[in-house]
Amino acid sequence: MTTMRGAGNAAATLPAVPGAAPRRGRASGIAMVLVAATLWGVSGTAAQQLFQSQGFTPAWLVTVRMTISGVLLLLGTLAFGRSTDVFRIWRDGAGRVQIVVFALAGLAAVQYTYFAAIQTGNAATATFLQYLGPVLVVLYEALRRRRWPDRRANLATLLAVLGTFLLVTGGSAGRLSVSPAAIVWGLLSAVALAFYTVYPGPLMARWGSGPVVGWGMTLGGLACATLRAPWDVAGQHWSVGAGLLVVFVVIGGTLIPFYLYLASQRHLSAAETSLLACAEPLSAAVAAVVWLHTHLGLGELLGGLCIVGTVIVLSWPGHRSPGRG
């Protein structure tokens, strides 16, 4: 099972290096992925603050976040790799088409829908709903292979359905705990995340994670700029605090966790990083409650834990990844 991340996890589809690691390296890997997941979760809450208190829009923030991060990733690949590694994908006809599809239907879609879910709801609910993505991947693979999911996948699906019901209703079928728009954007985010998980595997295997993610983010950011140009700041309430939040979302919520997550995979297996990445929705929930005083009732909390449970079930050692034969 590949590790997820919500909107910020550009490394979600990077292959982990399996095998045991020395104790010190293993401890470092655990610390890295926990810090990365926490930063991704908190960055969602920072985005919620920008949307709901400072007048920012998802399109503007996605444009700035993806473009800056993509350009810096490409520069990093140029600095530490070979220049041909960055540009060779554009000399291949199929590669050009695939990177554009990944940028628009994968990275840009997952980022925009996630931030839209935050704007219309809250960071905790948006992150929990996006974590339905792994179940969609399992169901997609079952349909593609025409093979009924195993008991573990069935349990994960049941947990996902129950968790979604509790999360959006608070346990009461007669009401919604978040707006319908937040639910729709959250579910679309899960679909986009499932696509973003499945699609780029062959791309990264052939061209490398740095160029694929770097170009994907850059192109996705430029595409979102057609919705809201980065210099169009009308309606946004800028202050020192707002500026720091934007910097945190771009640097602390994207580049730093991307690097930490990638580095952690030298020491941990894919299953371990998947389990540890569950810190993301939990950190998003804690940050939303403590920082923005978002109210999460018992039903919403139980629903969120059920959805986290789907990732734990699917990532537990011994379960075969849906992408492997």
Show the tokens assigned to 299: 């039903």
> What confidence score (pLDDT) does residue 192 get?
92
> What confidence score (pLDDT) does residue 168 get?
79
pTM of the predicted structure, to 2 decimals: 0.81
> What confidence score (pLDDT) does residue 315 get?
67
Other beta carbons less than 10 A from residue 220's beta carbon: 29
Burial class (CB in 10 A: 0-12, 13-18, 19+), 240: exposed
Residue type present at position 74 = L
> What confidence score (pLDDT) does residue 83 get?
59
Query: How far, in Å, CA of 264 to CA of 40, rounded?
Result: 15
Count CA atoms closer than 13 A to 203's CA, side-chain side: 30
Across the chain, which has 325 residues, the per-10-residue mean pLDDT values are 42 41 71 88 93 93 93 86 77 92 93 94 89 83 78 80 82 76 94 87 84 92 93 92 94 84 71 71 86 84 86 65 37
